[in-house]
Amino acid sequence: MKSEKESFRELLKRKLTPGQIKVLRGLYEVVLSLPFSGNLQMLGRIYETDKGDENHSYKGVSYLDVYAKCLAPFRGKPISMLEIGVFRGESLRMWKRYFPGSNIYGLDIDPGTKQFEENRICIEIGSQADAAVLEGLAKKSGGFDIILDDGSHVNKHMIKSFDCLFKHLKKGGVYIIEDLGCSYFPLDQGNVREVWPGMKYNPADETLDNDRLDMDEFFKKIISDMDHRQGDILSIQFWSSTCLIFKG
Ligand SMILES: C[S@@+](CC[C@H](N)C(=O)[O-])C[C@H]1O[C@@H](n2cnc3c(N)ncnc32)[C@H](O)[C@@H]1O
């Protein structure tokens, strides 16, 4: 059955232009998701994001289970959301469906991801470690209600993005850092420039070393600020490999 489905997909790919495929996929996803527009877990399956799968779950709780709890209050509001890391655009399309009336921004270093731009999904090409790119995006959007970092997973990139973008998160907003399991090992060891899509666009001479101590220092600092009633962080939720930082 699976191979039949795959060969039908292959047939469509051969017969249709990329533009026609995009329109067809959009229609298919919209029709399929009609009864589930408020069900993030079902939308995750329809839009084929991996945020709800076993690799992104612990003790039966997936990233999408966590996000469904914490992000539901944003539904129905004209929010602006940024996801760092576009890949095939699956999660951006899921967010667009889950948040009607929203504007979804994606940032990716891979120029090939620009093809996933569509109505209400704006894609910027550049590095999450480039302050000028981040500032430009913040200016273009007018600030964000939700920021989700699912980009390079390089600790120093994630910290740089947070340092630059948190001030552009609106009061009451949420900043999410995903896949923190990666923060414990040097990414260079896994030949990630070849294995992970888009990683090769990071400068060749840049080390992708991850030292968890950098993240520990980062979290220690923001927790300490919060405890000393400094800054704008209202609360922090840690789940397995994902962390939600709420702005007050
Ligand atoms: C895990 S994938 C994103 C998956 C996507 N968020 C989803 O859930 O469908 C990681 C993406 O990060 C991008 N990336 C790698 N280094 C980056 C950087 N320095 N800045 C921005 N994006 C980067 C890659 O090109 C890749 O598309």
- Domain membership of residue 62 (yes or no) is yes
Is 228 an annotated catalytic residue?
no
> Could you tell me the pTM of the whole model?
0.94
Please work out whether the CB of residue 83 comes within 6 Å of at least one atom of ligand 1: yes
Domain residues for 71? Answer: 37-247
- Domain membership of residue 32 (yes or no) is no
Report yes or no: 41 and 65 within 8 Å, Cβ to Cβ.
yes
Question: What type of residue is 104?
Answer: I
- Domain membership of residue 7 (yes or no) is no
Instruction: Supply the residue whose CA is at minimum distance from atom 22 of ligand 1.
Output: 108
Instruction: Supply the residue whose CA is at minimum distance from atom 24 of ligand 1.
Output: 198
- Domain membership of residue 176 (yes or no) is yes
- Domain membership of residue 28 (yes or no) is no
Q: How far is the CA of 196 from the centre of ligand 1 (A)?
A: 9
Which residues sit opposite 82 in a β-bridge? 105, 147
What is the CATH number for 119? 3.40.50.150
Question: What type of residue is 60?
Answer: G
Q: What is the pLDDT of residue 2?
A: 52
The helix (run of H) or strand (run of E) holding residue 105 is strand 103-108
- Domain membership of residue 12 (yes or no) is no
Q: How many domains does the chain fold into? A: 1
Edge-to-edge strand order for the sheet containing 144-149?
Answer: 121-125, 103-108, 80-84, 144-149, 169-178, 242-247, 233-239
- Domain membership of residue 26 (yes or no) is no
pLDDT tens figures, 68-102: 999 999 999 999 999 999 999 999 999 999 999 99
Residue 174's nearest CA partner among 99, 62, 97 is: 99
Tell me, letter by letter, the H, E, C secondary structure of 157-180.
Answer: HHHHHHHHHHHHEEEEEEEEEECH
- Domain membership of residue 31 (yes or no) is no
Whether the pLDDT of residue 6 is over 50: the answer is: yes
